[in-house]
Amino acid sequence: MMTKAAAPAPGAETSGDTYLPAHGNGGYRVRHYELDLDYRIGPNRLAATAVLTCAATQALSRLTLDFGEFRISRVLVDGRAAKYTRRGLKLQVKPARSIPDGARFRVEVRYAGNPRPVPSRWGDLGWDELTDGAMVASQPVGAPSWFPCNDHPADKATYRVTVATSSPYLVAVTGNLVSRYQSASTTRWVYERPEPTSTYLMSVQIGRYEDSELAGGAWVPESGAVPAGVVQRAAVPPRLRRQFAHDFARQGRMMDQLQEWFGPYPFGEYVVVVTDDELDDPIEAQGMSIFGAGHVDGRRTHERLVVHELAHQWFGNSLTVADWRHIWLNEGFATYAEWLWSEESGGRSAEALARYWHARMQAKPADIAINDPGVARMFDERVYKRGALALHALRGEIGDPVFFTLVKAWAVEHRHGTVTTADFRAMAEVYAGRSLRGFFERWLGKTPLPRR
């Protein structure tokens, strides 16, 4: 007997992501977030209102949001009180009226509490207290630690974020600063993020920082065309000002060079934040990179990380993976940018670095396919290095002129979009003028590391 296929559950509590299906939700897409945050640093107390403008992709009798453990005082859908319940990191909302397929609707959530990171297999992620301030590091699942959201990289939206906090502290949010108001001991900072942005790439940084301009780029590319200027700023603890000035002195030249390789910088500004605390690794956000105090030593020890995080503005932030299994498209490109910059700035050549890392990867277990590493290995070193090795091998396969034309076209044509490995392979074959099926299968689809 034939059975009728079941209709999708209204407001499905899954994004359908291959690796992290519990993060993100079905049935709608968020178009815009309006976040109004009042944060008290000493007690780590957040009182906030979030308004989400959404578009239904199916008829909805209920919907779910990813959200942390806050006390909720009100939930409205299109101005009407909605019923809601909590289950883990899911906020289940039942509107007073069902939402038709294709309709635009607004969800308002008023909440308060002590923000804390979301526990995950990669450690605690999201809003975290510093010794004197706060920071947000959300990749890949930490965004619900501070606002209700549809927490999946493919659901990109625009943002307006207002943060009110104690006036001695600088607030940096991923976006363009549009206003700042000081009243008594409190300052309200208002930022807008007009480009489509994934939830995990939104960040708030609060600390006793000095705000300054990053070194400008006076360097002229070989083409003779000076790229359009990009506003570049830094928020740095006063005690690290001298070391930072040396370590980031080549930032302007770096920005110019990456624009020559990858096309125009995809955002309106670039902000570097250095926390006064130690961080294991730098953090990427949209239009922003966050480093720990230990990454600034006055000797440019960590310059490869500086270019790695900058490259993520193209690969990861502007071009965002449609599903987490494609993460090599973020990390492989950012790692290869390190190698290209090393050669450009007088260090080891990309070829020498490829030889070095091929030998290092050859000594590791051959049990990972780069185009589908598995959720436990999303951030495995081999995804980064073997991803870069695949790009270097592709460069050798199709030649420098075609390779660099391809890479720039990849970044420009998919600007502010979502991408997959299949998308990259298809574009590579167009520019190569032939099938590259065997090449991509060897370098990305098989577990053994190919010979060079």
List residues forming the annotated binding site for Zn(2+): 308, 312, 331
In sequence order, what E strands does 257-360 have? 269-274, 283-285, 288-291, 320-321
What letters, b where the CB count within 10 A reaches 16 and e where it falls short, cover 319-331? bbbbbbbbbbbbb
Cα 117 to Cα 420: distance, rounded to the nearest angstrom: 29
Q: Where are the alpha helices (DSSP H) in 94-155?
A: none
Distances in Å between the alpha carbon of 39 and those of 153, 160, 175?
26, 16, 18
- Are 306 and 248 within 8 A, CB to CB? yes
Tell me which DSSP letter residue 248 carries: T
Cα 422 to Cα 184: distance, rounded to the nearest angstrom: 55
Active site includes 200? no
**CB burial of residue 426 (10 Å; 0-12, 13-18, 19+):** exposed
Q: How many CB atoms lie within 10 A of CB 128?
A: 18
Q: Which phi and psi angles does 256 have, rounded to 5°? A: -60, -45
Active site includes 28? no
Token output for 157: 């939206």
Token output for 125: 């992620």
Q: Which phi and psi angles does 229 have, rounded to 5°? A: -65, 140
Cα 186 to the chain's mean position, in Å?
29
Q: How many CB atoms lie within 10 A of CB 433?
A: 8
Can you tell me which residue has the tokens 């806050």? 70
Binding-site sequence positions: 308, 312, 331
Cα 393 to Cα 194: distance, rounded to the nearest angstrom: 36
Q: How many CB atoms lie within 10 A of CB 228?
A: 8
Catalytic residue among 309, 343, 351, 429: 309
Could you tell me the end-to-end alpha-carbon distance of the chain, in angstroms, rounded to an integer?
Answer: 56
Q: Which amino acids are annotated catalytic?
A: 309, 384
